[in-house]
Structure 1
Amino acid sequence: MSNSVQHERRPTGPYYEVRTPLLSQGDIFDDVPLGYPSPALEIAVEEVDESARAFLSGPLSFGPAMLITPTCSLRSQTAGRDYAHPVRTLVPLRPVQELMEAGILDPSKRGLAERRDSLINYMWMPPLPDVGLEESMALLYMPATLHHDMIADRRVSQLTRDASSQLQKKLAWYSTSMLLERSDFDPPMD
């Protein structure tokens, strides 16, 4: 890993914009399920036409999240269809202050996140006051997979090109332990 990559600062320009009606990797959502019910309070059984399906039922927290499904994976390549499938993967966005109070971040780690976004398991996100999003961290290690219909009307913003490149850099680093330069990424923006 080159020293320049290791010390590359996070983007300092705007992180958020609204640019396309279709969902894209990096879209920000409000009030969506942040995970799966665990532990389950009960098992709900639905009986339909002599068949039964069991579902876990339990506490489920809602809040802001970011879409990490690659844009090229979720968009349809077939004319007349917007999306290839209904599966969406999101990661929760948790306020920096909450993570500091819980002892997950200390002042030193917060400083690294703000300056260089150099914590492998997290992506630093600036506040988005218009929708009530505080300075946050995307928890890259806690993905949840949801159906499109659960999030379709909950998008509040999208990432700019620089922020989208930062997301792709962070996802590659988290998934492979290879830290590349942000300029190595060219996210689709349409």
Structure 2
Amino acid sequence: MSSQPRPDDHLYYEDRTTHLRQGDLFTGVPLGLQLPAEVFNHGNRKFVSGPFEVGFAMLITPSCSMAAQGEPGRYAHPFRTVVPVWPLEDLVVQGAIKEASLGQLRKYDHLANYLYLPAIASAQMPESLALLYAPTTLDHGYLEKQRIAQLSVTAAVHLKRQLARHYGGSLFKHEAFAD
């Protein structure tokens, strides 16, 4: 199952709703971790850590958790969980991602702690990875008018697959998920 390719770049983004959905991408989001600003080692793996300041982020709060019961278009609470979206080139330079694994990453999105994201030229977001291991909870207000893209149905299903892999430790086929 790990050899199942990720969606093609041209199938990743589409405008689908006016309300927020899991997988939406934002710019200008305050991000940070309570760790030193450096790459740290954990066994034979490296992870980027530290105060990220303001940057790109992906919403990972499940869409159904945000919706108010019986009130279409309204949100149930103001809390959102996002993960930083970090330029792939920077992750390679810092040693968190091996340059030799880029071909496999671009084709299969095979790393459990990340989600591959094609560049969004109109928002000046380079080819990036969402750091699934680094969630931050913040108020909905930080995301207002900051959305730069929504995932397509195909990419939203891929996100669910990657989240199940990261948080649950199981790798499923895309067909096991629905948007």
TM-score range, shorter chain: 0.7 to 0.9
Alignment partner of 1:185 is 2:177: yes
Given that 1:112 and 1:119 are in contact with CA atoms closer than 8 Å, whether structure 2 keeps it comes out as no
Structure 1 residue corresponding to 2:69, chosen from 66, 77, 84: 77
Alignment partner of 1:115 is 2:112: no
Letter paired with 2:25: I
2:11 aligned partner: 14
Alignment partner of 1:158 is 2:154: no
Alignment partner of 1:66 is 2:58: yes
Larger radius of gyration: 1
1:60, distance to aligned residue in structure 2 (A): 6.0
Letter paired with 2:166: Y
Cα distance between partner residues in 2 of 1:100 and 1:186: 32
1:54 aligned partner: none
1:35, distance to aligned residue in structure 2 (A): 2.1
Structure 2 residue corresponding to 1:148, chosen from 137, 140, 153: 140
Letter paired with 1:32: V
Q: What is the aligned length?
A: 164
1:24 aligned partner: 21
1:108, distance to aligned residue in structure 2 (A): 2.2
Letter paired with 2:18: P
Structure 2 residue corresponding to 1:33, chosen from 30, 34, 38: 30
Distance 1:106 1:72, change over 3 A: same
Counting aligned pairs with the same residue, the percent is 39
Cα distance between partner residues in 2 of 1:15 and 1:122: 16
Q: Which structure 1 residue ranges, 5 or more long, are not aligned?
A: 40-58
Superposition TM-score, scaled by structure 1 size: 0.82
Larger deviation: 76-85 or 178-187?
Answer: 76-85
2:43 aligned partner: none
Given that 1:65 and 1:91 are in contact with CA atoms closer than 8 Å, whether structure 2 keeps it comes out as yes
Cα distance between partner residues in 2 of 1:74 and 1:16: 21
Runs of 4+ residues deviating >6 angstroms? none
1:81, distance to aligned residue in structure 2 (A): 5.8
SS of 2:116's partner is strand
Given that 1:113 and 1:123 are in contact with CA atoms closer than 8 Å, whether structure 2 keeps it comes out as no
Given that 1:36 and 1:60 are in contact with CA atoms closer than 8 Å, whether structure 2 keeps it comes out as yes
Given that 1:166 and 1:182 are in contact with CA atoms closer than 8 Å, whether structure 2 keeps it comes out as yes
